[in-house]
């Protein structure tokens, strides 16, 4: 099996699994308990917090463990707006001091405003849609043909004030790297809170400067060879959040519920390994990605790499195969032992073309022909060669069938 769907999830490291097992067996104490088993679990959680903080270049006190990337994103967006606002009796958000008329919603001028883009991950899209239902004004800035933020439109969207900005560091479908550091500085000058979705960038790009300018940063363990079901949110000092889950005071009162000790321990081990691999792994992955793209471009059917002119993360290649339906190609590749994707895993199974690719100006038919190959630091030269061969054979069969109709 050749696995090139690492933007969806990665294989947990053997060291991660081994580190988790004791906390699923004999180390089952509740980390909030005062007895020995509980305090051993607490020590393990705090060690992992330090490991994740080191990966991000942050302080341990700034790391809040969550149930994954999507929860981290929701806590950042909804929690920060709620902390600055009051929930109305109907459960919606209304800015403090806003004026409601005849029991209706607050006037538009007093509504909290959020700025994001039209090419965000589904977790951000879903969160913003629910926020809109609760009365938050959401402005979605366009991206250009290379999937990068329209800086002029972005700056203009902040001119008359914004409460919160949310941007993705690395796009999960295209691998395009956004200059979130400069965008964050623009927002901070206008006194907006800044959230960065770094789920796809952590472990592939340094994060230290990111956490120096952003107020909130979301990550997920399973994107850098950790376990599923655990993530973290970086919260800069002085930033107030309202929890999504109330409980017994865990995670600085920001995420109620007994901590997932085994998952958190696994995330810590994965974070330490990712930090150690940053000096060499990205360059190696980039070389393999370039080899893959060159091999696919040589197929001669007009194959094209999406956002080839933009800065991209080291492991991601999204390729258009004209005349081919990606979902059909992926089924054939899977049968031959090759795993890839047609886009974000959260949108798999949808017959609709990728909203990210449409936002970049691709036609629906082009978007439906897009296949994403995402490598890991364990991908080999031999696997890339076999991938090019498998894709060439499958695409040739599909185009031959189309030509015979």
The DSSP element (H or E) to which 147 belongs, if any, is: none
Per-residue CA distances from 291 to 265, 283, 368 (Å) = 36, 13, 24
- Numbers of helices and strands, H then E, in the chain: 14, 14
How many angstroms separate the Cα of 53 from the Cα of each of 56, 68, 170, 208, 220? 5, 16, 20, 10, 13
Q: What is the 3-state secondary structure (H, E, C) of 217-280?
A: EEEEHHHCCCCCCCEEEEECCCCCCCCCCCCCCHHHHCCCCCCCHHHHHHHHHHHHHHHHHCCC
**What span, in angstroms and rounded, lies between the C-alpha atoms of 226 and 395?**
34
Half-sphere exposure of 391 (CA within 13 A, CB side): 31
Contact 227, 20 (CB under 8 A): yes
Give the H or E element holding residue 203. Answer: none
Q: What are phi and psi of 237, to 5 degrees?
A: -55, 135
Residue 68 DSSP label = S
Residues recognised as catalytic = 346
Which tokens go with 230? 């655990």
The interaxial angle of helices 14-24 and 261-277, nearest 10 deg, is: 160
Can you tell me which residue has the tokens 């958190």? 264
Report yes or no: 64 and 113 within 8 Å, Cβ to Cβ. no
76 in helix, strand or coil?
A: helix
């Amino acid at each position: 099996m050749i696995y090139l769907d690492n933007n969806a999830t990665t294989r947990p490291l053997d060291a991660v699994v081994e580190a988790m097992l004791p906390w699923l067996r004999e180390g089952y104490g509740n980390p909030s308990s005062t007895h020995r088993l509980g305090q051993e679990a607490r020590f393990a959680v705090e060690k992992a917090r330090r490991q994740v903080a080191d990966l991000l270049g942050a302080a341990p006190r700034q790391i809040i463990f969550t149930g994954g990337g999507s929860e981290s994103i929701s806590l950042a967006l909804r929690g920060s707006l709620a902390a600055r606002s009051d929930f109305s009796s109907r459960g919606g958000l209304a800015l403090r001091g806003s004026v409601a008329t005849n029991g209706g919603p607050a006037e538009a001028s007093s509504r909290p405003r959020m700025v994001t883009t039209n090419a965000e991950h589904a977790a951000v899209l879903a969160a913003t849609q629910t926020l809109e239902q609760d009365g938050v004004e959401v402005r979605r800035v366009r991206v250009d043909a290379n999937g990068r933020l329209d800086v002029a439109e972005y700056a203009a969207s902040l001119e008359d004030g914004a409460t919160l900005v949310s941007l993705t560091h690395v796009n999960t479908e295209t691998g395009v790297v956004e200059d979130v550091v400069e965008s964050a500085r623009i927002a901070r000058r206008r006194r907006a809170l800044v959230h960065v979705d770094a789920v796809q960038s952590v472990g592939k790009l340094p994060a230290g400067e990111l956490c120096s300018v952003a107020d909130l940063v979301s990550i997920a363990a399973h994107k850098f060879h950790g376990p599923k079901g655990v993530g973290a949110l970086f919260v800069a000092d002085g930033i107030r959040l309202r929890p999504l889950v109330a409980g017994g005071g865990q995670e600085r009162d920001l995420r109620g519920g007994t901590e997932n000790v085994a998952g958190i321990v696994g995330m810590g081990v994965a974070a330490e390994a990712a930090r150690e691999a940053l000096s060499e792994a990205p360059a190696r992955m980039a070389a393999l990605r370039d080899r893959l793209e060159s091999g696919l471009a040589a197929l001669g059917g007009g194959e094209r790499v999406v956002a080839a002119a933009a800065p991209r993360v080291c492991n991601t290649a999204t390729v258009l195969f004209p005349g081919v339906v990606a979902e059909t190609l992926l089924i054939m590749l899977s049968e031959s032992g090759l795993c890839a994707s047609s886009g974000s895993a959260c949108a798999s199974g949808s017959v609709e073309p990728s909203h990210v690719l449409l936002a970049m100006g691709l036609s629906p038919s082009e978007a439906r022909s897009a296949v994403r190959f995402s490598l890991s630091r364990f991908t080999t030269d031999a696997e890339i060669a076999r991938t090019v061969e498998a894709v060439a054979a499958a695409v040739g069969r599909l185009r031959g069938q189309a030509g015979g109709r």
